Amino acid sequence: MIDFNHSLQIAKSAALLAGDFLHKAQGSDLKILLNEGRDLKLQLDVDTENIIKDYISAHSNYSILGEETGPSDKLDECFWIVDPLDGTSNFLRGIPISCVSIALMHDLKPVLGVIYDFNHGDLYFGHIKSKAFINDQEIQVSSLSLKNESTLVTGIPAKTNYSDNEFNHLISIFQAWKKIRMIGSAAMAAAYVAAGKAETYQENGIFLWDIAAGAAIVSAAGGVASITNLQPDYRVDAKFSNNQIEE
Sorted by where each begins, the domain ranges of the chain are 4-139, 147-241
Q: Please state the pTM of the whole predicted model.
A: 0.93
Helix (H), strand (E), coil (C) string for 106-119: ECCEEEEEEEEECC
Beta bridge partners of 201: 153, 240
Question: What span, in angstroms and rounded, lies between the C-alpha atoms of 233 and 114?
Answer: 23
φ, ψ dihedrals at 117, nearest 5°: -85, 85
Architecture of domain 147-241 in CATH?
Answer: 3-Layer(aba) Sandwich (3.40)
Question: What is the CATH topology of the domain spanning 4-139?
Answer: Fructose-1,6-Bisphosphatase; Chain A, domain 1 (3.30.540)
Residues contacting residue 159 through CB under 8 Å, at least 6 positions apart: 37, 38, 205
pLDDT of residue 42: 81
pLDDT along the chain (247 residues), means of 10: 95 98 84 68 90 97 91 87 95 95 97 98 97 97 96 77 78 92 96 98 94 98 97 94 88
